[in-house]
């Protein structure tokens, strides 16, 4: 199995004018991302709008991205949702199409205790032999999975091989790593913590901004590993500035910036709305002043 880690892009999903996934645009998007040296793809997560799609649409996007990327990078398919049978179907499909791993959001809306979470991930493990990543994003789900709970799940379900933690709490990520050990891949989900994640010795980061600035984000990793801390710090500051500029409009802004680059990704799927013309102009003007290309 390919080692889980490095800089992984939380891949955007291109859409056509009719709101369906645009398979033709996936090639252009992945070519741009992978040209930046990215180590992996995290497909159909929050940035990829997976939870907004039907099972059919998710399978279509997963297969197109896995096939297009080929063996160049690790391909992780996010399968999370609320309907367990849909999640299991997506897990089986990910294995059938040759994905390297699956990731699954902690169940949301209903708050589950540790025993219920163990049972939930055990069901996924019964559906696929692929490594499973937990996905923690408490600002969206309302539930923060703590390190002790993670350890209990891993003890029950050994194929749980890591976690994407988007809480933004570096101390929590480090506590998880200390508790689970180096064979458990702890991935940070915040663009602002790529460099701190490296310094803490964690497995890597899953980033949304590497859709539009893959080389800039990857060069944080490159510079740090080459011992050029000042360059790594400057790149991280630029990434943080970019994140602050896009703010709560992050996902619609990613669509605008990629379209402006000539990569036709369409517009986000409802209920998300595209930027207004005025917002587009403001975002493009502000981001033009940030050195996205290193």
The span from the CA of 242 to the CA of 244, in Å, is: 5
The DSSP output letter for 270 is T
Angle between helices 170-180 and 147-156 (to 10 degrees): 30
For residues 242 and 247, give the distance between their C-alpha atoms in angstroms, rounded to a whole number: 9
Cα–Cα dist 194/203, whole Å: 11
Report the catalytic residues.
135, 164
Half-sphere exposure of 82 (CA within 13 A, CB side): 9
Alpha helix stretches (DSSP H) within 128-272: 138-141, 147-156, 170-180, 194-199, 214-225, 229-246, 250-260
Q: CA-CA distance, 189 to 236, in Å (whole number)?
A: 14
Are the beta carbons of 43 and 62 closer than 8 angstroms? yes
Rounded to 10°, the helix 55-69/84-96 angle is 20
């Amino acid at each position: 199995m390919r080692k889980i880690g490095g800089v992984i892009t939380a891949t955007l999903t291109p859409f056509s004018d009719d709101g369906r996934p645009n398979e033709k645009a996936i090639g252009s998007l992945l070519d741009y991302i992978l040209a930046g040296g990215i180590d992996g793809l995290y497909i159909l997560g929050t940035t990829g709008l997976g939870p907004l799609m039907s099972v059919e649409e998710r399978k279509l996007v997963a297969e197109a991205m896995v096939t297009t990327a080929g063996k160049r990078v690790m391909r992780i398919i996010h399968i999370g949702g609320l309907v367990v049978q849909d999640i299991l179907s997506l897990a089986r499909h990910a294995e059938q199409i040759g994905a390297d791993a699956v990731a699954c959001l902690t169940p949301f809306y209903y708050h589950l205790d540790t025993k219920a979470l163990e049972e939930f991930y055990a069901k996924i493990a019964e559906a696929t032999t692929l490594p499973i990543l937990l996905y923690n994003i408490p600002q969206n789900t309302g539930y923060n999975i703590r390190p002790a709970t993670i350890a209990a799940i891993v003890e029950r379900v050994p194929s749980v091989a890591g976690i994407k933690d988007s809480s933004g709490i570096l101390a929590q990520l480090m506590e998880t790593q200390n508790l689970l050990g180096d064979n458990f891949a702890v991935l940070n989900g915040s663009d602002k913590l790529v460099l701190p994640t490296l310094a803490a010795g964690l497995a890597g980061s899953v980033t949304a901004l590497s859709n539009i600035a893959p080389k800039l984000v990857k060069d944080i990793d490159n510079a740090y590993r080459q011992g050029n801390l000042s360059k790594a710090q400057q790149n991280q500051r630029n990434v943080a500035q970019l994140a602050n500029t896009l703010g709560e409009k992050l996902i619609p802004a990613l669509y605008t910036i990629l379209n402006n680059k000539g990569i036709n990704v369409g517009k986000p799927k409802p209920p998300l709305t595209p930027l207004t013309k005025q917002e587009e102009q403001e975002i493009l003007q502000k981001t033009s002043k940030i050195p996205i290309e290193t």
